[in-house]
Amino acid sequence: MRKLILLTTASLTMLAMICVASVSAVEISFDRYYNNDEVTAHLKSLNKAYPSLTKLESLGKTEEGRDIWMLMINNSKTGSDLDKPGIYVDGTIHGNEIQATEVCLYTAWYLLDKYDKIDKVHELVDSRAFYIIPTVNVDSRARFFEDANSYGIGRTARVAYDSDNDGLLDEDGPDDLDGDGEILRMRIRDEYGGWKTDPDDSRNMIRTKPWEKSEWRRLGEEGYDNDGDGDINEDGVGYLDMNRNYGFSWQPPYVQSGAGNFPMSAKPNKAISDFVISKPNICFDFAFHNMGGLIVRGPGSKLAGTYPRSDVEVYDFFGHEGEKILPGYKYIIGGMDMYTTHGDFDEFMYSNLGIFGFVGELFFSEKVEYLPKHEDVEDDEDAPSRSIQKHKFDDFVSQGTMFRDWKKFDHPQLGEIEIGGWRPFTSRIPPTFMILEMCHRNASLVLFVAEHTPDISMKLLEVEDIGNGLKRVRIRVENSNALPSLSRTAIKRDIYRQDMITIEGSGLDIVSGGIVRDIHYDRVNNIDHHPEKIFTHIPSFGKRDVQWIVRGSGKATIKYDAVKAGNRSLTISY
């Protein structure tokens, strides 16, 4: 009995130690969605709890006067953020894609909360800089929580636009007809409306065959004809799609819907573009969206051209590893495998700034389907439709909270209609119990890429006496990670200065210097002017060998100075 008591006491003590070790300085529960005020409060709490690791900054104000918050995570004790490789993360450029904010918030929280608990995280925070903007489209996301809404409302910036060319701005948007705080869908009985009740589930509608009589016409979101032009909801808020408003390959609205009047006309876009330009150390960016289960790279359109082979190899490495970290997600090329986009953020970052990046489409419909076990369900004629599967998921997993049954409503202009459908926080947005895994897996991809920012080392290959008082000094600069010190696009377009390798020492006379093209055949590309400075870049999982012919004796310092890969130094005797 005494032994059992001792074991129990020891077990309780160990459990207490584990509980103490897992206590967080900032407790954030990732089983719900946070509104704008709550997101801001969490960012301020993280900044307050980790003052030496964070800097919280408002990059500017939105159209409606809200702050665009950026949380920088960088251990200031190990150096300036600009001296370290940088990773940029943002979310919710489309205001109704709310879960992207949670992924960004989780990434920030995880890096800070696990700093003293997981060695890998500790090393990343000490040696990299992270720039995290949880919400780009702050106005529309805030209103998604505050206003009567639907999953299809709130994508754009809050910039007035005359969508129906009647001289009025935003005068005919959706209305909460029944005052329940949600804007759902309307339908009206119409034997030529093209839709009928699904015999397998009366909540669902299916298209009629051309020879069949219909039951319903779908009318879209709840609303009136507010401007008396015979159309409903044809001129809601916007339309300025912030992911069509960036300054590369921008096309006017008659080519690219939602482009805005000119590039960077949305205030957050201008603020963010100014910020990323001020951080040339950024190596990779993640822009999180909400639907498809995709890892998307550019080009977004033919106007961007094709990407250099060496850059594609880098993208492919991360994309294929990402598919393993995110089971079910697919790595694709946006303009080829999805649809054409002009003026999008990802292309702006790569083509203008030479920064690699992914768009993360966070959620896919299969997650909320009530699927049978067999893998050939797509080819099974008896398998229920995806709509029916979603209804079954709602019935048996979400207990009927996702869909509101159709109810009659006396519309003042249309007469008797029915209102119902999928509720605002249920379509294109994962149920709350799925948030944590979505956040952690996507944050893990961010951390994986951060692990592979350029990791540069230098070593001495030889100091050889070649006669006549001359010596040949050769060193090797190596990159053990997947991201090169500069993308091929950055080099081709001369966006940044290349990495600089220098040698200096008291009494040291530099006769020549250059990059060793083939060390076995002594083939060297010599530098014509200032041979003490060699400009180059270090490729993915690659190296550069450089050499100098010098005169003198003593000690010399060799320095490596890079915009995106930090600085290194090596002292040698010659």
pLDDT at 149 over 90: no
Phi, psi of 77 (to 5 degrees): -75, -20
CB of 378 within 8 A of CB of 509?
A: no
- The residue-averaged pLDDT of 67-73 equals 98
Predicted confidence (pLDDT) at residue 243 exceeds the cutoff of 60: yes
The strand order across the sheet containing 415-422 reads 201-207, 195-198, 216-221, 185-189, 415-422, 403-411
For residue 199, the number of C-alpha atoms closer than 13 Å in the C-beta half-sphere is: 1
Is pLDDT at 371 greater than 80 in this prediction? no
Of 469 and 12, more confident? 469
What digits encode the pLDDT tens for the residues 513-560?
999 999 999 899 999 899 999 999 999 999 999 999 999 999 999 999
**Which amino acid does the sequence have at 347?**
E
What is the model's pLDDT at position 417? 97
Q: Which residue bears the tokens 């339908």?
A: 187
Look at residue 364 in the predicted model and tell me its pLDDT.
81
pLDDT, position 17: 37
533: CB partners within 8 A, 6+ apart: 500, 501, 502, 513, 527
Task: Identify residue 297 by its one-letter amino acid code.
Answer: R
Q: Which residues contact 368 (CB under 8 A, 6 or more apart)?
A: 390, 393, 394, 397, 430, 431
The reported pTM is 0.93
Residue 384 has pLDDT above 80, yes or no: no
Torsion, Cα of 148, 151, 157, 163 (10° steps):
-90
φ, ψ (nearest 5 deg) of residue 195: -135, 150
What integer is the mean pLDDT of 304-316?
96
pLDDT band at 376 (very low <50, low <70, confident <90, very high): low
Map tokens 């916007």 to a residue: 238
Interval 246-260: pLDDT, tens: 999 999 999 999 999
Task: Please give the mean pLDDT across all residues of the chain.
Answer: 92
**What percentage of the chain has pLDDT greater than the value 90?**
82
Query: By C-alpha distance, which of 453, 537, 549 is closest to 497?
Result: 537
| Per-residue model confidence (pLDDT) at position 378 | 52
Superfamily the domain 2-143+246-363+436-451 falls into = Zn peptidases (3.40.630.10)
Return d(Cα 77, Cα 564) in angstroms, integer: 19
**Which residues partner with 570 through β-bridges?**
558
Tell me whether the omega of the peptide bond preceding residue 199 falls within 30 degrees of 0, making it cis.
no
Query: Please, where are the H alpha helices in 299-349?
Result: 309-325, 345-347
Residue type at 416 in one-letter notation = E
- How much of the chain exceeds pLDDT 70, in percent? 94
Of 166, 168, 186, nearest in space to 177 by CA: 186
Highest mean pLDDT: which range of 147-151, 422-426, 487-491: 487-491
pLDDT band at 22 (very low <50, low <70, confident <90, very high): low
Is the model's pLDDT at 362 over the cut of 90? yes
Question: Could you tell me which residues come within 8 angstroms of residue 155 by beta carbon, excluding any fewer than 6 positions away?
Answer: 94, 95, 96, 97, 140, 238, 241
Task: Match 């001495």 to its residue by tokens.
Answer: 460
For 501, what's the count of Cα atoms within 13 Å in the CB-facing half-sphere?
26
| Tens-place pLDDT, residues 471-499 | 999 999 999 999 999 999 999 999 999 99
Q: Is the pLDDT score of 443 beyond 80?
A: yes
DSSP state of 427: S
- Find the radius of gyration of the CA atoms of the chain: 29
- 11 has a pLDDT exceeding 70: no
Ranges of each domain in the chain = 2-143+246-363+436-451, 161-236+388-422, 456-573
Q: Place 381 in a pLDDT band, splitting at 50, 70 and 90.
A: low
Overall CATH class of domain 456-573 = mainly beta
The neighbour count for residue 366, using CB atoms within 10 Å, is: 12
Confidence category of residue 16, pLDDT binned at 50, 70, 90: very low
pLDDT given at position 50: 98
pLDDT of 112 higher than 60: yes
Q: By the 8 A CB rule, do 134 and 91 touch?
A: yes
Residue 365: per-residue pLDDT? 78
Task: Give the residue-averaged pLDDT of 199-226.
Answer: 95
Taking the C-alpha atoms of residue 130 and residue 74, their distance in angstroms, rounded to an integer, is: 7
